[in-house]
Chains A and B, each alone.
Chain A
């Protein structure tokens, strides 16, 4: 716009010079026409941009990575007179703190016009799409007028769910602290009677059902119920250096969850909150899976590498599980002795860009090296 104004002023000066130096009717007429031109253009601008507004709309609220997000910007105005416009389309990814801009210029002809822009995000996160600096211009770009920008559109880019070709081998073991009880096995929870049977040698005398035994000639004992608990935990290590690895991690977590759900295994996803406290989410259905995926996008990257989530979790009261799946991008954490000394099966999934062979130790510790091809990396997974 500044350039247009400068050019116009130069032209006016030139014509003015000529009309002074060479007195001629035509030169004067030209000067008058040139001076009237901005008024004419301003009038066109005012008329053309009357009640002009931008109405942005993203087709959808959630997308997957590399999906095309179709963003339509409707331009409405009162008159059909074509008028120029310019605005800047901004897309921010809150998770990766990345912002991209695109200047869009055009001519709005007719009363309604719709512009379509396709946005692709390589990384997961919450995208904020909005218009700023929207202006209408005359044909020579001498005058400009601000126009209503429209609302901000929020879009979420979810991690991709990848089909994992694996099998569930070990079934969940049982713990004392569950709320549900096993129907096939007894436990030690006295609040629930699993079974009543005859006394055998070695049974705890405190479990004798005295009421029944008094009425019979035999001794009967009560078998207590065995409370059940979600016994697989996916622990997410947020020590990640690059956003691409972060994407792989999110994909991996979501895909694992999906795999477990498909196999009917309810599980827990554990991550760190902003205050570095542990956040455990139970996933029993798809809805909770997506909520967890959304929550993952709020997970901050680890700021204190020395205080890792692994240490927190293993030393916490939540460390009651049957199987631990530790997802990390930090290869060195695999050698954590606390992790290796767990009595329960531990599966470490290390996100890396190098080619490494998976391995398994005698003490039920397995390590998978995951690259961007998650499906191939976890081929033949057995949990």
Chain B
């Protein structure tokens, strides 16, 4: 006798109760469920990462919408039992939106870099300092501690003790909403907080994912609890570290939050409509009105200049057409050797702004952009490039140094007044070092920066009247500029509300001959056009102006020893001088537009055209006659004081978006709404491309997700047919067959009457072999009613039958159904 098992070793539990699982999953809306899954993933992904990558800097309305959409997607997923989808939304969201690239990567990168730099600076400068206890520090510590402790601790406790099935929803509500509020109100505006938030949620997620796996739950109970404990400890550690670090940072006096507040507000002012609409790189000068200034601090200038005005040029307009200023197409530069200047090592300023005068004192101007949204900054005239900056052709703007938002630029302290000093000494570099380039550039300028459109007949007549002849070239230029300045002063009135330009009329002629009212844009444009009509190469320029009033309001006036550089014997020498340095804060009020005139041998000289500002700078037009200019200065002083106090800058300080500057990408301006400044036409269809890229990325994601999911599911299914337990494998095959048949509305395959069921199967699906059916019935009968194990051969028979049936069934369907069966229901 063969004893198969020892009776006494029977299991202790006579009754075994399996784990419960949700079994109702109606097959009639499975396709809908799958589509819902895709929708949930997309909504949640988009909402979550958009919030995250934006660094919580979006406008509150948009932010609220995104948060609501994310919560809705989670709730929606939970309602339909898509728990796994719902909890996987968050980690998936980071990957998705990075692929889509909807968010400006440079913005995010800047944010990261800035945060990192802050940390580095802090460590570098405050390592050995232990400042006293301060109220601000305690306040920040308390705020941080309260918010984070509540949010993170509660989320962990919920995750630890809750159902592990929908806990993510309350966790998310409880952590996300307060975190949002905290960051919005400036409580925890740093990346470390974000990392902590995600670390904690990731920990909670990991607990839920472990729980979801049925086999793990039973087998690795202790592991799961251990993981939960580790997550709890990790989150407590993060919370404590964040709070202590914030406390320490604040206590040491490190002024970080203000910067982040500014960053956040700059982002929140972003006009997102423009991101999707056809981005206009050009500016229609006929637009009425100007942007409302929010007086935010844009630049912090530390300069040794005391009282003279400083012009910081950002960009220029080269082509005037249809009431717009454009930049040159890049092909224009290809015609001349000027393109060598785009290599980044040589600039127009290099050619003209230096001199062999060894005693020239090069100052150091620090320009710190409070928030840098683009690759450009502002340059003072006469800045010196020692090769560390990349300068774009003759535009004057430099490419951002990717490692820092603070630029220290050497420049000639008397650059705005260099007419007298430079005129005799400026040929050195031009003629000796870069003779070919400088000559070709002069030719280029004379060719492209003169002449006006043919329809401006009245302007041409006026220019003809103002033209001076008989003098040498430079004196001619000087006199012309003076005449234009005087003409504008006498014939036009400064006004911030000049009104719109009627349709069909030219902006300049309307200003000069009809309206006669305008602000700096009008004056600068008219001045440039008049000079061009007179044959003097000139162009439109805009940027910031530091006027005398600004210097009067300067702070942090310090005297310090400064290392300055100067040129001696064709070499840069450095020395230390006692220098008074002031810090000037520039806002949108300081944005300004002016004209530039090209003087051979000297380069582009700024010329103030706006009435009331003429005394603020000693530009080209004022230097030729000191007495006359002094008298005028006295006359204009009062006016300028009045004007400058009551007439804020009418030029928006936005970043150039010219394609002519090939190294500049299309950045969105933080003051992009209601543009009235000069920008340059870009031939790129950025917005359309963005939308196309987004759509393509979404399609790619959906396809990839579907293929991956299909592969995993099919493999898992095939694995279930190859287990050790042959009976179980056969049962799985039976269930698979049943499932496929259910989609074919065939529900007659009943265990109770297999023979009948298979007969009907044969009748319904004529591609089924009758004999094969018979064999299969015998095997299944043996499986379900016998108490014996089936053999391998029998399993092979069943497997072959089922797989071939499914394959034949699907292949005989119509295309759409075939696609659904394969790629949505994952049947094969």
Q: Which residues of A contact B (CB under 8 A)?
A: 3-4, 7, 11, 14-15, 18, 22, 24, 26-27, 30, 34, 72-73, 80, 82, 84, 89, 91, 93, 96, 98-102, 104-107, 109-110, 112-123, 127, 139-141, 160, 162, 242-245, 248, 353, 355, 369, 371-373, 376-377
Selected from A105, A115, A123, A373, the residue in CB contact (under 8 A) with B4 is A373
Interface residues as binary, B121-152 with A (CB distance below 8 Å gives 1, 0 otherwise): 00000000000000000010011001101100
A242 to B7, Cβ gap below 8 A? yes
- Assembled-state Cα–Cα distance A373/B19 (Å): 31
Tell me whether A15 and B150 are in contact (CB under 8 A).
yes
Closest to A68 in B: B18
In the complex, what's the smallest C-beta–C-beta distance from B279 to chain A, in angstroms?
39
Please, could you name 10 A-B residue pairs with CB atoms under 8 Å apart, sorted by A?
A22-B142, A26-B146, A84-B166, A122-B11, A122-B15, A139-B162, A141-B162, A355-B3, A373-B2, A376-B1
**Complex interface: chain A residues within 8 A of B23 (CB):** 72, 114-116
The reply to whether A84 and B163 contact each other, CB–CB distance below 8 Å, is yes
Q: Do residues B18 and A106 form an inter-chain contact, with CB atoms below 8 A?
A: no
- Chain A hits for B20, CB < 8 A: 73, 89, 102, 104, 106, 115-117
User: How many Å lie between the Cα of A36 and that of B146 in the bound state?
Assistant: 18
The 7 closest A-B pairs by CB, nearest first: A114-B24, A116-B23, A118-B18, A100-B15, A244-B10, A102-B17, A122-B14
Q: How far is the CA of A101 from the CA of B15 in the complex (A)?
A: 9
Q: Return the CB mask of B13-34 against A: 1 if under 8 Å, else 0.
A: 1111111111110000000000
Complex contact A80–B14 (CB within 8 A): no
From A26, A82, A116, A353, contact of B79 by CB (8 A): A82
Which chain A residue has the least Cβ–Cβ distance from B5?
A: A372
Nearest residue, chain B, Cβ from A37:
B174
Q: Does more than half of chain A's interface fall in helix, strand or loop, or is it mixed?
A: mixed
Report yes or no: A7 in contact with B150, Cβ–Cβ below 8 A. Answer: no
Which chain B residue shows the least CB distance to A19?
B146
- The one of B15, B147, B154 in contact with A91, judged by C-beta atoms closer than 8 angstroms, is B15
Determine the residue in chain B with the shortest Cβ distance to A4: B161
Is A120 in contact with B22, judged by CB distance below 8 angstroms? no
Which residues of B have CB within 8 Å of A82?
78-79, 166
Q: Size range of the interface on B?
A: 35 or more
Question: Are B7 and A244 closer than 8 Å at their CB atoms?
Answer: yes
A355 CB to nearest chain B CB (Å): 6
Q: Which A residues touch B1, using CB under 8 A? A: 355, 369, 371, 373, 376-377
Q: State the CA gap A120–B14 with chains docked (Å).
A: 8
Closest to A106 in B: B165
Contact of B167 among A11, A34, A139 (CB under 8 A): A139
| B80 contacts the other chain (CB 8 A) | yes
* Contacts A89-B17, A376-B2; A3 near B161 (Cβ below 8 A): yes
Looking across the interface, which residue of chain B has its beta carbon closest to that of A95?
B14
B79: nearest residue on chain A (CB-CB)?
A: A109
Chain B residues in 8 Å Cβ range of A104: 20
A109 B81 Cβ-Cβ under 8 A = yes
Q: Which residues of B contact A34 (CB under 8 A)?
A: 150
Are A105 and B163 neighbours in the complex by a CB distance under 8 Å? yes
**Which residues of chain B come closer than 8 Å to A353, judged between CB atoms?**
3, 6-8
Q: A30-B146, A80-B79, A140-B162 are in contact. Are A120 and B15 (CB under 8 A)?
A: yes
- How far does the Cβ of B184 sit from chain A's closest Cβ, in whole Å? 11
**How far is it, in angstroms, between the C-alpha of A313 and the C-alpha of B1 when the chains are bound?**
31
Verify B3–A371 contact, CB threshold 8 A: yes
Residue of B nearest to A72 (CB): B23
Q: Are B14 and A96 in contact (CB under 8 A)?
A: yes
Selected from A22, A242, A376, the residue in CB contact (under 8 A) with B8 is A242
Q: Chain A contacts of B24 at CB under 8 A?
A: 112-114
In the bound complex, CA of A314 to CA of B17 (Å): 44
Which residues of chain A have C-beta atoms less than 8 A from B689's C-beta? none
On whether the beta carbons of A119 and B16 are closer than 8 Å, the reply is yes
Least CB distance from A14 to B in Å reads 8
B8/A244 in contact, CB under 8 A: yes
Most B Cβ at <10 Å: residue of A26, A84, A123:
A26
B binding-site residues for A, Cβ under 8 Å: 1-8, 10-11, 13-24, 78-81, 83, 139, 142-143, 146-147, 149-150, 153-154, 157-158, 161-163, 165-167, 169-170, 178, 185, 187, 787
**If the complex has contacts A11-B150, A115-B23, are A139 and B8 also in contact, measured as CB distance less than 8 A?**
no
Q: A91-B17, A98-B13, A353-B3 given; name 7 further pairs at CB < 8 Å.
A: A11-B153, A11-B154, A30-B178, A96-B14, A105-B163, A109-B166, A245-B7
A113 and B24 CA atoms in complex are apart in Å by 6
Query: What residues of B have a CB within 8 angstroms of the CB of A115 in the complex?
Result: 20-23
Indicate if the CB atoms of B2 and A139 lie closer than 8 Å. no
Query: CB-CB < 8 A to B166: which residues of A?
Result: 82, 84, 107, 109, 139
Say yes or no: A106 contacts B15, CB within 8 Å. Answer: no
B166: nearest residue on chain A (CB-CB)? A107
Whether B80 lies near A119 (C-beta < 8 A) is no
Residues in B neighbouring A18, C-beta threshold 8 A: 142, 146
Q: How far is the CA of A24 from the CA of B4 in the complex (A)?
A: 76
Q: Quick one: closest B residue to A161, CB to CB?
A: B787
Residues of the A chain whose Cβ atoms lie less than 8 Å from the Cβ of B158: 139-140
- CA distance in complex: A371, B787 (Å): 17
Q: Answer whether A109 and B14 are a contact pair too, CB < 8 Å, given A22-B142, A141-B161, A372-B7.
A: no
**Which of A14, A121, A371 is B7 in contact with, Cβ under 8 Å?**
A371
Residues of A within 8 A of B4 (CB): 372-373
Nearest chain-B residue to A354 (Cβ)? B3
Residue of B nearest to A96 (CB): B14
Contact between B15 and A93, CB atoms less than 8 A apart: yes
**Chain B residues with Cβ under 8 A from A98's Cβ?**
13-15
Cα-based distance from A4 to B157 in the complex (angstroms): 9
B157 and A7 contact, CB distance less than 8 A? yes
Chain A residue numbers with a CB within 8 Å of B139 are 22
Q: Are A106 and B163 in contact (CB under 8 A)?
A: yes
B22 touches A24 (CB 8 A): no
Q: A4-B161, A18-B142, A110-B80 are in contact. Are A100 and B22 (CB under 8 A)?
A: no
Kindly list chain A residues whose C-beta atoms are within 8 Å of the C-beta of B163.
84, 105-107
Most chain A CB inside 10 Å of its own CB: which residue of B8, B19, B150: B150
Task: Report B-chain residues with C-beta under 8 Å of the C-beta of A101.
Answer: 17
Cβ distance A267 to chain B, nearest Cβ, rounded Å: 24
Q: How far is the CA of A148 from the CA of B533 in the complex (A)?
A: 93
**Which of chain A's residues has its CB closest to B83's CB?**
A107
Contact B81 A127 (CB under 8 A): no
Chain B residues whose C-beta falls within 8 Å of the C-beta of A123 in the assembled complex? 14
Identity of the chain A residue whose Cβ is nearest the Cβ of B177 in the assembled complex:
A33
B30 to chain A, nearest CB (A): 15
Of B6, B14, B153, B167, most A-chain CB atoms within 10 Å:
B14
Assess whether B2 is in contact with A93, with CB atoms less than 8 Å apart.
no
- The CA of A80 and the CA of B76, in the complex, are separated in Å by 11
Q: Are B79 and A100 in contact (CB under 8 A)?
A: no
- A112-B80 Cα distance, complex, nearest whole Å: 11
A149 to chain B, nearest CB (A): 15
- In the complex, which residues of chain B have a beta carbon less than 8 angstroms from the beta carbon of A116? 20-23
Residues in B with CB closer than 8 Å to A371 are 1, 3, 7
Provide the residues of chain A in CB contact with B142, threshold 8 Å: 18, 22, 24
Contact check, A26 vs B143: say whether CB atoms are below 8 A apart: yes
Contacts of A373 in B (CB 8 A): 1-4
For the complex formed, measure the closest distance between the CB of A150 and the CB atoms of chain B, giving whole angstroms: 14
A357's closest neighbor in chain B, by CB? B1
Which residues on A sit within 8 Å (CB–CB) of B81?
Answer: 109-110
Closest B residue by C-beta to A80: B79
- Residues in A with CB closer than 8 Å to B178 are 30
**Closest residue to B169 on the A side, CB-wise?**
A139
Option from B16, B80, B147 in Cβ contact (under 8 Å) with A100: B16
CA distance A113 to B2 in the complex (A): 48
The residue in chain A whose Cβ has the minimal distance to the Cβ of B142 is A22
Cα-based distance from A80 to B80 in the complex (angstroms): 10
* Chain A: CB-nearest residue to B153: A11
Shortest C-beta distance, A356 to chain B (Å), equals: 8
List, in ascending order, chain A residues with CB within 8 A of B80's CB.
109-110
> Of A100, A107, A355, which contacts B17 at CB under 8 A?
A100
Pairwise interchain contact B13-A122, C-beta atoms closer than 8 A: yes
